[in-house]
């Protein structure tokens, strides 16, 4: 059979490829047959790997010895800078490593990332190889760094190699040295979520709140990665829960940004400051949790009484962001707690304007309900009484069975009886502001849009009446009389009273 290329993508002849495969599976008989036929034992594939690399990486001692008898280029590296010795250390093949050392392999080799024998073994957790390197080989510097500035100790911590970490500490490694990003071992362990390693590292750490080049502590990195156990461990060890990064934010900010609700709870319990403000976009934990759609985090922050009205660099509050993105659930949490609805962003828009511009109709109605509720609450607030008398509050659409009949009456009123413009006159009677009316009118459903506008206004009004515990039929009758529609007033009263379950007084909203 003609000995041509294996494929267009390879540079090996078929016999050379077969020789590589035999080295991988430790088939020395087949290797010897191919050697007798004149195969090029130094042939390299497109990654510059030859049979010696495969045998060393696979831990095949017999194949390795055969190759060493016929190939003296023991230090030849592949395209990643990995030679046979480094591959043996990487894959933890101690016997192969010893054979290569005895064959004169250079000990001070490193790959293109600057990883040497010690780095490879430490990163992969090969403790026996490490012991051999440190006890039997000469001139092996314990704290030599790779091209990223990491020592073997860094790499072991980063990769969760607890036994190696303990071994290196016992050998007297420098445990406070930092890499080029100014990460110490505790940063790397926390970032990757290696709790047991982190525990060991912080036991010998001089500063648990040490910061890297970005001002991040181990706590920040553990939170960003969502590593709950590492966060808990660091807090129990007494780290500073409010340590600030170069962006002047604490760990809670990152927990909120990434939706780490369990970590948020831990941080809040530890006394985390809720209103830390990013010095780039001037956002708070509440801003970023709303922006990234993390409702559980928003709930935790609101319950922790965070500031709701802090503006970002666009002068937008968290409610502006919720309004812009149509986040009804989060908007309601904020609205129920109570916010300043008069705050304007850089474009001069209130949260109501933003919701209307984005065509988030339900949110527009919720904000108007809240605005009217705030006014009612202010008018009825007293030191000794709760205006709601303990009843739950919601600004969402009303789907209560007990209000279904009165709502159907209002639907008929808006779509069949009120003429264009009349709903706005009625809204004025009931204290709707010009801003409320304009926001409702931004919805466009065609030439009959006024019917939908009127219906929405009526339901918003109904919400306020029911929250106040007033009689909606009486209020509707009086409103229609006020706009000179006595005919409609009588008609509505008759239809409403036709249902004995129509609320005369409010149940909880």
- What's the pLDDT at 487? 87
pLDDT interval class at 3 (50, 70, 90): low
Residues 109/119, Cβ–Cβ less than 8 Å: no
**Residues near 206 by Cβ (< 8 Å), separated by ≥ 6?**
176
- What's the pLDDT at 384? 55
pLDDT tens profile 369-381: 999 999 998 887 7
Segment among 2-6, 325-329, 437-441 with least mean pLDDT: 2-6
Mean pLDDT of all residues in 48-52 = 95
Alpha helix segments (H runs only) across 317-389: 318-325, 328-337, 351-357, 361-380
Share of the chain above pLDDT 90, in %: 80
C-alpha–C-alpha distance, residues 92 and 322, integer Å: 54
Residue (of 21, 12, 16) closest to 40 by Cα position: 16
- What's the pLDDT at 509? 33
End-to-end CA distance of the chain: give it in Å, rounded.
87
pLDDT interval class at 492 (50, 70, 90): confident
Mean pLDDT of all residues in 1-15 = 66
Residue (of 342, 349, 407, 337) closest to 377 by Cα position: 337
Segment among 9-13, 114-118, 288-292, 305-309 with least mean pLDDT: 9-13
Is the CATH code 3.30.160.100 the one for domain 1-140?
A: no
**Residue with structure tokens 């016992």?**
170
C-alpha–C-alpha distance, residues 501 and 280, integer Å: 56
- Residue 506 pLDDT > 50, yes or no? no
Within the chain, what is the greatest distance between any pair of CA atoms?
113
Residue ranges per structural domain of the chain: 1-140, 308-382, 401-497
Mean pLDDT of all residues in 272-301 = 97
C-alpha–C-alpha distance, residues 253 and 242, integer Å: 10
Residues 468/427, Cβ–Cβ less than 8 Å: no
The highest-level CATH class for domain 308-382 is: mainly alpha
Tell me, rounded to whole angstroms, the distance of Cα 236 from its chain centroid. 24
Question: 345-354: long-range contacts (C-beta < 8 A, 24 or more apart)?
Answer: 345/311, 345/314, 345/315, 345/316, 345/320, 346/314, 346/315, 349/320, 350/435, 351/317, 351/319, 351/320, 351/322, 351/323, 352/323, 352/435, 352/436, 352/439, 353/435, 353/439, 354/316, 354/320, 354/323, 354/324
* Mean pLDDT score of the chain: 92
Segment among 73-82, 119-128, 135-144, 251-260 with least mean pLDDT: 135-144
pLDDT interval class at 499 (50, 70, 90): low
- Residue 114 pLDDT > 70, yes or no? yes
C-alpha–C-alpha distance, residues 26 and 269, integer Å: 59
- Residue 386 pLDDT > 80, yes or no? no
Paired residues of 382 in beta bridges: 385
- Residue 327 pLDDT > 50, yes or no? yes
- What's the pLDDT at 280? 95
Paired residues of 13 in beta bridges: 5
Residue 206 tokens read as 């001089």
Residue (of 245, 306, 311, 226) closest to 272 by Cα position: 306
Does 308-382 match 1-140 at the fold level? yes
Residue 470 tokens read as 């007033």
Q: At what angle do helices 404-412 and 472-482 cross, to 10 degrees?
A: 20
pLDDT tens profile 183-211: 999 999 999 999 999 999 999 998 999 99
3-class state of residue 435 by DSSP? helix
Nearest-5° Cα angle at 368, 403 to 327: 90
CATH numeric code, 401-497: 1.10.533
Residue 140 tokens read as 């092996």
Residues 83/109, Cβ–Cβ less than 8 Å: yes
Residues 362/397, Cβ–Cβ less than 8 Å: yes
Residue 208 tokens read as 């648990």
Residue 213 tokens read as 């080049």
Predicted TM-score of the model (pTM) = 0.89
- What's the pLDDT at 380? 79
- Residue 469 pLDDT > 80, yes or no? yes
Share of the chain above pLDDT 70, in %: 93
Mean pLDDT of all residues in 224-234 = 98
pLDDT tens profile 10-45: 789 999 999 999 999 999 999 999 999 999 999 999
- What's the pLDDT at 8? 46
């Amino acid at each position: 059979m003609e000995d041509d290329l294996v494929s267009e993508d390879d540079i090996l002849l078929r016999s050379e490829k077969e020789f590589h495969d035999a080295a991988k599976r430790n088939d020395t008989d087949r290797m010897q047959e191919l050697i007798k036929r004149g195969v090029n034992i130094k042939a390299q594939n497109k990654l510059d790997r030859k049979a010696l690399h495969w045998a060393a990486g696979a831990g095949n001692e017999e194949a390795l010895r055969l190759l060493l008898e016929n190939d003296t280029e023991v230090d030849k590296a592949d395209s990643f800078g990995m030679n046979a010795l480094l591959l043996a250390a990487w894959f933890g093949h101690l016997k192969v490593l010893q054979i290569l050392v005895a064959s004169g392999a250079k000990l001070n080799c490193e790959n293109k990332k600057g990883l040497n024998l010690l780095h490879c073994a430490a990163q992969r957790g090969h403790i026996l190889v490490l012991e051999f390197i440190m006890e039997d080989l000469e001139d092996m510097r314990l704290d030599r760094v790779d091209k990223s500035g990491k020592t073997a100790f860094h790499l072991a911590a980063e990769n969760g190699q607890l036994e190696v970490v303990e071994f290196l500490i016992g050998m007297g490694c420098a445990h406070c040295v930092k890499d080029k990003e100014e990460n110490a071992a505790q940063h790397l362990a926390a970032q990757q979520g290696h709790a047991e390693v982190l525990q060991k590292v912080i036991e010998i750490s001089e500063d648990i709140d040490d910061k890297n080049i970005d001002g991040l502590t181990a706590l920040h990195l553990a939170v960003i990665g969502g590593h709950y156990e590492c966060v808990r461990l660091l807090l129990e060890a007494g780290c500073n829960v409010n340590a600030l990064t170069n962006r002047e934010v604490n760990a809670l900010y990152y927990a909120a940004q990434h939706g780490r609700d369990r970590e948020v709870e831990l941080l809040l319990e530890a006394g985390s400051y809720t209103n830390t403000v990013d010095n780039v976009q001037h956002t708070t934990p509440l801003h970023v949790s709303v922006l990234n759609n993390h409702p559980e985090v928003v709930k935790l922050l609101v319950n922790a009484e965070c500031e709701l009205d802090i503006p970002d660099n666009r002068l937008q509050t968290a409610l502006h962001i919720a309004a812009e993105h149509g986040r009804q659930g989060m908007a309601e949490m904020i609205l129920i707690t109570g916010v300043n609805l008069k705050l304007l962003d850089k474009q001069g828009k209130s949260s109501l304007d933003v919701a209307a511009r984005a065509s988030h109709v339900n949110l527009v109605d919720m904000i108007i309900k809240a605005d009217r509720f705030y006014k009612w609450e202010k008018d009825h607030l007293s030191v000794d009484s709760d205006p709601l008398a303990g009843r739950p509050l919601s600004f969402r659409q009303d789907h209560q069975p007990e209000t279904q009949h009165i709502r159907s009456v209002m639907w008929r009123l808006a779509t069949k009886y009120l003429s264009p413009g009349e709903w706005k006159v009625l809204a004025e009677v009931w204290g709707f502001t010009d801003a409320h009316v304009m926001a409702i009118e931004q919805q466009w459903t065609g030439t009959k849009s006024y019917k939908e506008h009127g219906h929405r206004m009526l339901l918003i009004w109904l919400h306020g009446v029911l929250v106040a515990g007033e009689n909606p039929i009486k209020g509707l009758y009086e409103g229609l009389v006020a706009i000179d529609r006595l005919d409609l007033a009588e008609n509505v009263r008759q239809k409403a009273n036709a249902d004995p379950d129509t609320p005369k007084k409010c149940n909880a909203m």
